[in-house]
């Protein structure tokens, strides 16, 4: 049977760069204002004072130094703390479709494909800007693609779950050439009002082309040796924004309608789950961990990635073995591991084996075993 290949990847990076210092400054000013406005309730013990954020904490606790966002003035405005995006009409391309196209162009160029040759598009991300029609179908039309397109959401694991769907569709013959897109506008659902969350995320979009070896063009390609997904329910990462909010009897606390997490518990629960997931996937595929040349892991926390790599390798990873993009991009949700793959795959030889792995809310974990097939 023909192997299934990744023949191209693409990345859209927003033009607006936001440093930790800028975020800490805007939230610090917002907190001073909030504390002054709620002085009486704080003094009477009704409300707790909002503590000041710190750059040192952010870098030490997460490894995040910086992020890119689709709009920065609104989210840095202490009186607003969320992006300011113009409303687009039905005749205009939606913003998620627009960033998908940016990432798609690069991935298609790498694969030597035209939009019209794509016959399956899967948009996977943590939040979709509307319920329907699917963003993927809008992208399908804009690219002149054929076949079918749909949206899906498995939070930070959306890319690997979508890649498995695409691989399965191509292997089964229900698609000839699939495109997976991960338009993560995390700044729209990040909580910039609370210091425990305001630094976590950044925006980006990734694209991946998947097709069978038999019809792939020449150029760099990666064989998909195997895919494996797993889920286990947890409330430790949660966002309650949804279509039933307006029908619920009790008004929600606004903080429940954005990303929230019990980060420390996530760290403790997810690291062993991911290490065991990768270990058993490699073992079942007959690949020794010592032969794995690169781990492109989800980018949420530097400590998490070092812990997972250390558990697998039995030693600290060399920087190039488990590449980090978190310092520059922050957590870009499902796009993170694909950004690491897109930017850090130089130096591998034909035949080298590697793992792309995402993890996050659900809990969810997805691993894609890859072997370099051609340069
Ligand atoms: N600046 C200063 N202090 C801060 C702060 C900030 N921006 N954010 C939190 N703190 C404080 C906390 O309020 C807490 O204070 P307290 O001890 O007085 O209560 C203290 O720092 C420690 O907070 P904690 O949440 O325990 O820190 P942590 O070491 O667990 O780091 C994360 C927080 C989020 C960086 C870390 O838990 C993490 O990355 N977890 C992985 C989960 C993840 O990223 N998931 C995303 C989806 S996969």
pLDDT tens column, 136-153? 999 999 999 999 999 999
Q: Which residue has the tokens 């075993």?
A: 369
3-class SS of residue 231: strand
* Alpha-carbon distances of 67 from 14, 44, 71, 122, 355, rounded to whole Å: 9, 38, 12, 25, 25
Domains parsed from the chain with CATH numbers: 222-374 (3.40.47.10)
Residue 328 has pLDDT above 70, yes or no: yes
Q: What is the mean pLDDT of the chain?
A: 97
Marked catalytic residue, from 156, 177, 205, 357: 156
The predicted pLDDT at position 252 comes to 93
Question: What is the pLDDT confidence band of residue 235, given thresholds at 50, 70 and 90?
Answer: very high
The predicted pLDDT at position 218 comes to 83
Pocket test for ligand 1, best of 61, 127, 362 (most atoms within 8 A of CB): 61
Report, as an integer, the average pLDDT of 91-115.
98
Question: 274 C-alpha vs ligand 1 centroid, how far in Å?
Answer: 20
Nearest atom within ligand 1 for CA of residue 64: 35
Look up the pTM and report it.
0.97
**What are 322's two structure tokens?**
């488990």
Half-sphere exposure of 213 (CA within 13 A, CB side): 12
User: Is 125 part of the annotated catalytic residue set?
Assistant: no
The predicted pLDDT at position 1 comes to 67
The predicted pLDDT at position 2 comes to 82
| Pocket-forming residues, ligand 1, beta carbon under 6 Å | 53-54, 57-58, 61-62, 156, 195-196, 199, 237, 261, 263-264, 266-267, 300-301, 304, 331, 359-360
Question: 54 C-alpha vs ligand 1 centroid, how far in Å?
Answer: 11
- Residue of minimum CA distance from atom 34 in ligand 1: 263
Report, as an integer, the average pLDDT of 181-208.
98
Going by C-alpha positions, the residue among 96, 74, 99 that lies closest to residue 85 is: 74
Spatial distance between the Cα atoms of 135 and 151, rounded to a whole number of angstroms: 7
């Amino acid at each position: 049977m023909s192997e299934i290949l990744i023949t191209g990847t693409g990345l859209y990076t927003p033009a607006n760069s936001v440093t930790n210092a800028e975020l800490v400054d805007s939230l610090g000013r917002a907190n001073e204002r909030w504390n002054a406005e709620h002085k009486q309730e704080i003094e009477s013990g009704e409300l707790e004072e909002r503590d000041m954020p710190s750059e040192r904490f952010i870098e030490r606790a997460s490894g995040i130094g910086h992020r890119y966002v689709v709009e920065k003035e609104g989210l840095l405005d202490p009186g607003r703390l969320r992006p300011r995006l113009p409303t687009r009409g039905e005749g205009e391309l939606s913003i998620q479709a627009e960033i998908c196209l940016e990432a798609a162009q690069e991935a298609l160029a790498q694969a030597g494909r035209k939009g019209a040759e794509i016959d399956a598009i899967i948009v996977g991300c943590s939040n979709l800007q509307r319920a329907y029609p699917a963003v993927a179908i809008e992208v399908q039309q804009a690219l002149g693609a054929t076949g079918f397109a749909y949206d899906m959401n498995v939070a930070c694991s959306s890319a690997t779950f979508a890649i498995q769907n695409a691989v399965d569709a191509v292997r089964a013959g229900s698609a000839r050439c699939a495109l997976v897109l991960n338009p993560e506008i995390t700044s729209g659902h990040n909580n910039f009002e609370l210091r425990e969350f305001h630094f976590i995320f950044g925006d980006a979009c990734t694209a991946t082309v998947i097709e069978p070896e038999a019809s792939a063009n020449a150029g760099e390609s990666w064989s998909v040796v195997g895919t494996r997904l797993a889920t286990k329910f947890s409330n430790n990462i949660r966002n309650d924004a949804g279509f039933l909010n307006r029908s619920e009897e009790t008004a929600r606390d606004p903080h429940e309608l954005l990303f929230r997490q019990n980060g420390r518990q996530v760290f403790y629960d997810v690291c062993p789950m991911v290490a065991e997931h990768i270990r058993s996937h490699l073992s079942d595929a007959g690949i020794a961990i010592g032969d794995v040349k690169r781990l492109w892991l989800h980018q949420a926390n530097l400590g998490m990635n070092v812990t997972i790599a250390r558990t697998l390798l039995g030693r600290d990873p060399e920087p190039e073995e488990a590449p980090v993009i978190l310092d520059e991009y922050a957590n870009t949700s499902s796009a993170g591991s694909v950004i690491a793959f897109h930017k850090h795959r130089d130096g591998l030889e034909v035949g080298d084996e590697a793992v792309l792995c995402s993890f996050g809310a659900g809990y969810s974990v997805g691993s894609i075993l890859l072997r370099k097939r051609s340069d």
